[in-house]
Structure 1
Amino acid sequence: MMDLKSIKAIVFDYDDTIAKTRQIRYKTLQTIANETFDFKLSNEQIDSAWGIPGNDFLLKIFGNHSKDLDFLWKTYNDYCDRDDNIPYPGAKEYIYQFQKQYQLGILSSSSHKRVFKELELMLFDLVLFVSVQTAEDTHVHKPDPKVFEPMLSKLEMFSIRREEILYVGDSISDYLSSTGYGLQFLGMAHGEREQIVFDREKIPYVESFAELDKVLKEGR
């Protein structure tokens, strides 16, 4: 059971929590498949790889056509630059408000280049975050709980213990890794896909940043 009164830090997942990555990048990936490799990439194929670290993701999606990671990353990043990612409603505004009350962080399985570039393009002030941790910052990845070790070491500098950290994410992998490390967890279900999963697993969640703000205020 969550104890929101004890929360001193909030760490956010990035893809599909802060930004509409799935909505935007499915189009990007399908365009790459069509224009670069001349095949049709289905939503189901992307679903099967979604959420794993970048190198593994690109190889799972395009590995039958190229295993040259330098080429795959250049191609992916070039196409991503055509399709700007979009923050969810209220993300910037509420995160700015949250930093007045909590230490903030981002922990993502996506690459450093993509996360930082997109945050800057979406006009997030990176100074608001104690740490923005990406795939390159650790040798393990969600759902391994040890993925939170670098983030905890940064937050411990503010005398924050793991049980005083709330992780907000959109997937079961986010839930398993954070609670497995002793953090508190609250789901972010922007759509029906996430709501169905959280309801089935009886995991508490909110459906927007506005609702997250309300829950945090009521829990103080």
Structure 2
Amino acid sequence: MSKPKYKAVIFDFDDTLVETRLIKMAHHIAVAKKFYDINLTEEVFLEHYGKPFNTLIKTLYQDSDTLENMIAANVTMRNDFLKKVYPASVDVVKTLLDHDIKIGILSATNRDFVMNDLNRLNFPVDRMSVVQGADETEVHKPDPNVFMPILDKLKKQGIEKEDIVYVGDSLSDLKATTAAGIDFIAVTTGLYSQEDFKNNGAEVIIKEIKEVVEKII
């Protein structure tokens, strides 16, 4: 068996491991209308999509209530708009784990929401090394310092930055990893195309998450 190229793989969550954008757009449009009588448009949603969850809902719901109440409003309709796992995502994670590769998640979604989805979609959460949500850091992608907490945790497990690769679907993912000195694998299941990533300096680009395994093992 050949030696894996990396000792740890950190995944973005939304639009990388799970189908999110169109589902959550419908979700936010419904919440904005039902609770705040806001006619949220696709253009406005896409303009702000990818921002940390708390910042996103404050913007989309126009600060119409307290943050706590806006989160509660969002959660009341959550089960009507559940994220869907991409084919092979769970198998990819399990395969990497079976090759003794540490797995982490770094997401712009709040940690509790990520954990709920990971468990609901049958990801092997108990085998993951770290799950970091947007509500756990003061900085967010594309700021490279967003990686500091997760890098510290992996370092305690004997894994250095050069042994890590981040897999994501956005240019903010690419910019954050580049500035942090972390290798990056771009997947074109989000808003950005292969050309977009190439034009911004990405060297490894895949169409589907199932292709990650052959890039690492």
Structure 2 counterpart of 1:137, one-letter code? E
- Counterparts of 2:193 and 2:109, CA distance in 1: 19
SS of residue in 2 equivalent to 1:71: helix
Partner AA of 1:11 in structure 2: I
Native 8 Å contact 1:13 1:106 kept in 2: yes
**Distance in 2 between residues matched to 1:194 and 1:164, nearest whole Å:** 27
Tell me how many residue pairs correspond in the alignment. 213
Q: CA deviation at 1:192?
A: 6.7
Question: Residue 11 of structure 1 contacts residue 166 of structure 1 at CA under 8 Å; is this kept in 2?
Answer: yes
Q: 1:132 Cα shift?
A: 0.2
Match of 1:98 among 93, 96, 99: 96
Which of 85, 88, 95 matches 2:86?
88
| Residue segments in structure 2 that go unaligned for 5+ positions in a row | none
Shift of 1:39: 3.1
2:41 is matched by which residue type in structure 1? S
Matched, 1:176 2:175: yes
Say if 1:196 and 1:38 are closer, same or farther in 2 by CA, change over 3 A.
Answer: farther
User: TM-score scaled to structure 2, two decimals?
Assistant: 0.91
Deviation at 1:123, TM superposition (A): 1.5
Q: Is the CA contact (8 Å cut-off) linking 2:170 and 2:191 kept in structure 1?
A: no
- Provide the rounded CA distance (Å) in 2 between the counterparts of 1:24 and 1:206: 23
2:40 is equivalent to residue 41 of structure 1:
yes
Determine the C-alpha separation between the residues in 1 that align with 2:15 and 2:43: 17
User: Could you tell me which residue of structure 2 aligns to residue 22 of structure 1?
Assistant: 21
1:76 equivalent to 2:74? Answer yes
Measured in 2, the distance between the counterparts of 1:53 and 1:72 equals: 14
2:84 partner letter: I
- Identity, in percent, stands at 29
Any idea what SS the aligned residue of 1:185 has? strand
Q: 1:147 to 1:83 in 2, by over 3 A?
A: same
SS at match of 1:99: helix
Pairing of 1:186-197 with structure 2 (within 5 A):
186-190=185-189, 193-197=192-196
2:111–2:134 CA contact under 8 A, matched in 1? yes
Equivalent residue number for residue 119 of structure 2: 120
Question: Does residue 212 of the first structure (1) align with residue 207 of the second (2)?
Answer: no
Distance 1:111 1:42 in 2: 23
Distance 2:31 2:93 in 1: 33
Partner deviation per Cα, 1:61-119 (whole Å, 9 max, x = no partner): 1115x131111000111111222111111000111111122111000111122111111
Match of 2:11 in 1: 12
Question: C-alpha separation between the residues in 2 aligned to 1:35 and 1:173?
Answer: 31
Distance in structure 2 (CA, Å) of the matches to 1:107 and 1:210:
19
